[in-house]
Amino acid sequence: MIRKVCAIDAPQISRIYNYYILNTAITFETEPVDVAEMEKRIEGIVTKGYPYFVYEADGKVVGYCYLNQWKARKAYSKSAELSVYIDKDYRRQGIGKALLRHVLDNVDPDEIHTVMACITLPNESSVKIHEAFGFRKVSHYKEVGFKFGQWQDVGDWQLIFHA
């Protein structure tokens, strides 16, 4: 089931996200995010009016997807950044695809003109799912993040809505 995020989802969202922080280069955060901080992050996104959804299965949150401000300057106000994370035990079950579709279906093209997805490379599965939804690669930055003793590349994928 896909539904809007609630503050009470913060512990489960933290659990999902902290796995990626501690075990992958998918996010460049290096320290786990506690529940109080995750609650603040969720509130900040929702308060700004961005879509934020969770996927529930087996009585728990097993994935989440949201849009957030891409850059702070006013001229970027109709651009947003997409994030999607799936519980490590529920990957490859179509949850990410369902969440991505749900978030994109809830974008008002009068409010959001373009959506950006920043992907640590290589990440074939993330590239594949974004491109399946019409995102196109628009940049590739080499060695911009340092995590787990290695330099990491990042690419940006973009989807433009036509109102």
Instruction: Write down the pTM of the prediction.
Output: 0.94
**pLDDT, position 120:** 97
Q: Which two three-digit tokens encode residue 112?
A: 């959001």
Q: How far apart are CA 103 and CA 143, in angstroms?
A: 30
Of all residues in the chain, what percent are helix, strand and coil, respectively (each to 5)?
A: 35, 35, 30
Question: Which residues does 146 contact at the CB level (< 8 Å), separation at least 6?
Answer: 152
Q: How far apart are CA 117 and CA 148, in angstroms?
A: 22
pLDDT of 67 higher than 90: yes
Share of the chain above pLDDT 70, in %: 99
Q: What is the pLDDT of residues 87-123, one digit of tens each?
A: 999 999 999 999 999 999 999 988 999 999 999 999 9
Q: Which two three-digit tokens encode residue 44?
A: 């900040």
pLDDT of 163 higher than 60: no
Question: Cα dist. 56→3, 53, 64, 101, 145 in Å?
Answer: 8, 10, 9, 16, 32
